[in-house]
Chains A and B, each alone.
Chain A
Amino acid sequence: MASACWGLPDAFCQFPAMDGKSLLLMRRTIDGTFRDIVRSWSGAIDAATAPLQIALNALERAFTSTPWIVVLALVLAIVWAGSRSWRIVAGTAVAMLAIGWFGLWRDTMVTLAMVSVCTAMAVVIGLPIGIAAARSDRMQRVINPVLDVMQTLPSFVYLIPVVVIFGIGKVPGMIAVVIYAVPPMIRLTNLGIRLVDAQVLEAAEAFGSSGRQKLWNVQLPLALPALMTGVNQTIMMALSMVVVASMVGVGGLGKNVLQAINNQFFTLGFLNGFALVAIAIIFDRTSQAFGQRLQQYRGAAHD
């Protein structure tokens, strides 16, 4: 033992950790208190999440019970409206038909419903926070470390408090996904607004714009490329987190993947995985093409 310790005192080799008993006591106390608090608030928590639950169920039903041909037509119409590119529309059609052919239509619809809701919520939450961070350096100093933690914490870890507080089901899954997907939206909103041409902003100021007028006339429009990147990344994050969230009871493609892992269903796992990739690519291409189309005025540069 002494030779393995390079002649150093024992305490420098074996970390003098807390003894097992105190650690156990600590864990029990924290977990117990936490659980008690949650239990005493459970009524309020349920009441707060009930409308979310209803909305989520309704949307999921709308996606799954509508005839597939109608959904397909709608999806293609949205992709066309966003991208104005026949290639992307054709690719989407092929991918969706393949998904249906392999019997994954229903699960895909469940996932699509979930991702749409989560992305919308992440944008609605992330945009104002990003704007606030762009407006004050102090705000940014508070928000940035929080975002760093959110983005580096393994996604499994924050499932734990979510499950303890909200239990198992769609709503906790959605909350976990939104928390995971919101940081890029906040960061890119903040960055986009901060990088707006100071001269144009000064011009708006010189003509007497109020803070709100500056935001709507100058900052948000000029930050639009960054905002679109933020939305795009948020969608990608939501899609990847939907798989993890299947562990707390979110259905859809993610759940199939989880089953495949547990049972070593090689083909099932890959088919579902590819369906997720296909959705991701459709979202990505459409939102990027949309973002580019919004800025055609830049492309026409004279010099």
Chain B
Amino acid sequence: MTDQSVPTLEDEDEVATRPGLEIRGLYKIFGPSPSRWIGAVKAGMTKTDLNRRHGHVLGLTDISLSIPPGRITVIMGLSGSGKSTLIRHINGLIAPTAGEILFDGTDVCRMSAAELRGFRRSRTAMVFQKFALLPHRTVLENTRYGLDIRGVPRAEAERAARRWIARVGLGGYENSYPSQLSGGMQQRVGLARALATDAEILLMDEAFSALDPLIRLDMQRILLELQEELHRTIVFITHDLDEALRLGDRIAILRDGRLEQVGTGQDIVLRPANDYIAAFVHEVNRARVIRLSAVATPLAETEEAPRLALPDRLVLEEAAREMLAAGAERALVVGPRRRPLGIVRIGDLLAGMVRPSGRPPTDQAPTGPRGKP
């Protein structure tokens, strides 16, 4: 399923030239005088100590994360882990106590108020958990909002807004008010409003968390479909692992304001960095996360190559379906431009789907707590 969101080859070249986001050594302390305690926090004072002794809240600790352009980066963590705090640093709604966020060579955290406004108008857009639409404006007027703010001529803004309303499947509701729409429809307006500005960075703070499960799946599908074509740099926040695995090209796991692990969904499921993450991914349906590339074995010299060829990005469940349909015992795993990478047997698929009993051996976890794959 996640395959849909992976850009095709031609796009990849184009996407790679665009700037990504680089977060470096970010700290955030909430309270009356954060700068007073930043030294102590950097030296290792814990969140509890800071709160009990000095009455400050440690929001984020030493976050370093690169967010690649044109991809969906999911930030996942439980309630209070600092997800909203982190995403609000990216468009400067919250200023850090220390650290920097680089975009296209400039540090977002050091922008003046006017620069920040310009940055928000043209480079970023945001979708909110509780939709945050203007209740006194229609769907059309809400969708137009970012363009209005920027001073885009009325007719042009309206044309763009109508197009995006149609794209998110709300055609015909242009003149409705938010209160006349269901939650799912309101969030489509939220999405249209964010997309309409053509900003390359899309920040989504638990955008689908307030929706019913079925509507949520629907919205995830819409997002992936759009992303297949738009290749925006999306930062998506969720506390739901399934959602993270479905959407995320890369997943960063946050716990108590620290990054615990960063990697692809498969990395995190196959090689959890610690017990916390292992417990987190324990119940995951591995067949929908692990890709063929992880279970393929080299093709022996003497062996005859199987006729069925499957792309290495396919998840195990899809691969099993293809192989069953073709009645094949073995399949050739091919990479980009159909380059053969190895072969896979039905048995390999089964082994990959079954969760290994007990803890994974340590040599299977090469990614450190805050390491990058």
Which residues in A have their C-beta under 8 angstroms from that of B183?
303
Which residues in B have their C-beta under 8 angstroms from that of A298?
135, 179
- Asked whether any CB of chain A lies closer than 8 Å to the CB of B233, the reply is no
CB distance from B89 to the nearest CB of A (A): 12
Residue contact B120 to A208, C-beta cutoff 8 Å: yes
CB distance from A71 to the nearest CB of B (A): 34
Interface centre among A208, A224, A297, A301 (most CB of B within 10 A): A208
Interface residues of B in 126-141 (CB under 8 A from A): 126, 128, 130, 132-136
- Asked whether any CB of chain B lies closer than 8 Å to the CB of A18, the reply is no
**Interface locus among B97-105, B145-153, B234-242, B252-260:** B145-153
Chain A residue at minimum C-beta to C-beta distance from B129: A199
- Asked whether any CB of chain B lies closer than 8 Å to the CB of A149, the reply is no
Assembled-state Cα–Cα distance A300/B178 (Å): 9
Interface residues of A in 168-220 (CB under 8 A from B): 197, 199-200, 202-210, 213, 217-218
- Tell me how many residues of A have a C-beta within 8 Å of chain B: 25
Assembled-state Cα–Cα distance A205/B134 (Å): 13
CB distance from A70 to the nearest CB of B (A): 36
Assembled-state Cα–Cα distance A301/B133 (Å): 14
CB distance from B179 to the nearest CB of A (A): 5
- Asked whether any CB of chain B lies closer than 8 Å to the CB of A302, the reply is yes
Which residues in B have their C-beta under 8 angstroms from that of A167?
none
Partner of B93, one of A206, A222, A297: A206
Residue contact B179 to A302, C-beta cutoff 8 Å: yes
Residue contact B149 to A213, C-beta cutoff 8 Å: yes
Asked whether A208 and B134 contact (CB < 8 A) given A297-B179, A300-B180, A302-B179, the answer is: no
Residue contact A301 to B179, C-beta cutoff 8 Å: yes
Which residues in A have their C-beta under 8 angstroms from that of B91?
206
- Asked whether any CB of chain A lies closer than 8 Å to the CB of B177, the reply is yes
Which residues in B have their C-beta under 8 angstroms from that of A209?
117, 149
- Asked whether any CB of chain B lies closer than 8 Å to the CB of A295, the reply is yes
Which residues in A have their C-beta under 8 angstroms from that of B179?
297-298, 300-302
- Asked whether any CB of chain A lies closer than 8 Å to the CB of B124, the reply is yes
Asked whether A207 and B126 contact (CB < 8 A) given A202-B132, A217-B134, A222-B135, the answer is: yes
- Asked whether any CB of chain B lies closer than 8 Å to the CB of A82, the reply is no
- Asked whether any CB of chain A lies closer than 8 Å to the CB of B58, the reply is no
- Interface of A (DSSP majority class): helix
Assembled-state Cα–Cα distance A295/B132 (Å): 17
Asked whether A203 and B177 contact (CB < 8 A) given A208-B120, A210-B117, A213-B149, the answer is: no
Residue contact B135 to A297, C-beta cutoff 8 Å: yes
- Asked whether any CB of chain B lies closer than 8 Å to the CB of A249, the reply is no
Interface residues of B in 262-302 (CB under 8 A from A): none
Chain B residue at minimum C-beta to C-beta distance from A197: B132
- Asked whether any CB of chain B lies closer than 8 Å to the CB of A273, the reply is no
CB distance from A213 to the nearest CB of B (A): 6
Residue contact A202 to B93, C-beta cutoff 8 Å: yes
Which residues in B have their C-beta under 8 angstroms from that of A207?
120-121, 125-126, 145-146, 149, 193, 197
Q: Mark A6-33, 1 if CB is under 8 A from B, else 0.
A: 0000000000000000000000000000
Interface centre among B119, B135, B193 (most CB of A within 10 A): B135
Interface centre among A204, A206, A224, A302 (most CB of B within 10 A): A206
Asked whether A205 and B93 contact (CB < 8 A) given A297-B136, A297-B177, A302-B179, the answer is: yes
- Asked whether any CB of chain A lies closer than 8 Å to the CB of B118, the reply is yes
Assembled-state Cα–Cα distance A298/B134 (Å): 11
Q: Name A's B-contacting residues (CB within 8 A).
A: 197, 199-200, 202-210, 213, 217-218, 221-222, 224, 295, 297-298, 300-303
Q: Name B's A-contacting residues (CB within 8 A).
A: 91, 93, 117-122, 124-126, 128, 130, 132-136, 145-146, 148-150, 177-183, 193, 197, 203
11 contacts between A and B (CB under 8 A): A200-B135, A202-B93, A203-B132, A206-B120, A206-B124, A207-B126, A208-B122, A297-B136, A300-B177, A302-B180, A302-B182
